[in-house]
Amino acid sequence: MARQIGEARAKIIEAAYKLFYRRGYARVGVDEIAAAAGVTKRTLYYHFQSKDDVLARVLEEQGPLALERIKVWTFLGDRDPAAALDRLFAELTKWISNPNWSGSGFTRLAVELADLPGHPARKIAHLHKLEVEATYREFLSSIGVAEPAKRARELSIVLEGTLLQVLLHGDLTYAEVGFALLRDRIARTLPV
């Protein structure tokens, strides 16, 4: 019985993740989540208090997975600064080149819920972005970048803007420009 309860909950979270990522939070209803998970609405409400609760659980599960992917992209053992940055930008380019790519789910969610600053999902997205920035800081420190906290914030800001521009225009040259800007900026902070 406990296994069935866990399986139903997992199916709901997985279905909700796919629907939220593809269509956005506001355009997906509880009935649709339940149907995609192959459960009744009653079962969904047995496991979750509301759609907001489902979203919070989705983000809590996806955050560590996304962070792990970023850590893999930044810490593959190469400590040559130029090569390490090129690898990070190459991995980001692969990610955004996927025909099904529709932006960072955490960023899209924060924008979608912009008028609800106290929403639990916004708080989770905020914490996730802080963890991403901390990962960038650790990465930049490991390759010898001066003032890694400041450079990590710059990296976060420019990457977010770059990803949004690629999403808006469907043009990967925005990524080339954003990555070149970051590469040049970070290169100027490396020891000579």
Q: pLDDT tens digit string along 43-74?
A: 999 999 999 999 999 999 999 999 999 999 88
**Residue range(s) defining the domain that contains residue 96:** 51-187
Q: Is residue 13 part of a domain?
A: yes
Q: Write the CB contacts of 71 (distance below 8 Å, at least 6 apart in sequence).
A: 135
Assess if residue 147 is contained within a domain.
yes
% residues pLDDT > 70 (the chain)? 95
Confidence band for 78, pLDDT divided at 50, 70 and 90: low
Distance between CA atoms of residues 47 and 109, nearest Å: 22
Domain count, the chain: 2
pLDDT at 175: 96
The residue ranking higher by pLDDT, 151 or 192, is 151
User: Per-residue pLDDT for 42 more than 50?
Assistant: yes
Percentage of the chain with pLDDT > 90?
Answer: 66
Q: Where is the domain boundary, 9, 31, 48? A: 48
Choose between 169 and 189: higher pLDDT: 169
In a domain, 192, yes or no: no
In a shared domain, residues 40 and 64: no
- Give the global pTM: 0.86
Q: What pLDDT, on the 0 to 100 scale, is given for residue 154?
A: 95
Query: 3-7, 34-38, 114-118: which range is least confident on average?
Result: 3-7
User: Residue 85 has what pLDDT?
Assistant: 87
90 plus 171 within the same structural domain = yes
As a whole number of angstroms, the distance between CA 181 and CA 184 comes to: 5
Question: Do 94 and 183 lie in a common domain?
Answer: yes
pLDDT band, very low/low/confident/very high, at 189 (cuts 50, 70, 90):
confident
Given a contact cutoff of 8 angstroms between Cβ atoms, the answer to whether 175 and 162 are in contact is yes
pLDDT at residue 1 in the model = 46
Q: What's the rounded Cα separation, in Å, for the pair 168 and 88?
A: 22
Residues 96-120: b if buried by 16+ CB within 10 A, e if exposed: beeeeeebbbbbbbbebbeeeeebe
Q: Answer whether 84's CB lies under 8 Å from 139's CB.
A: yes
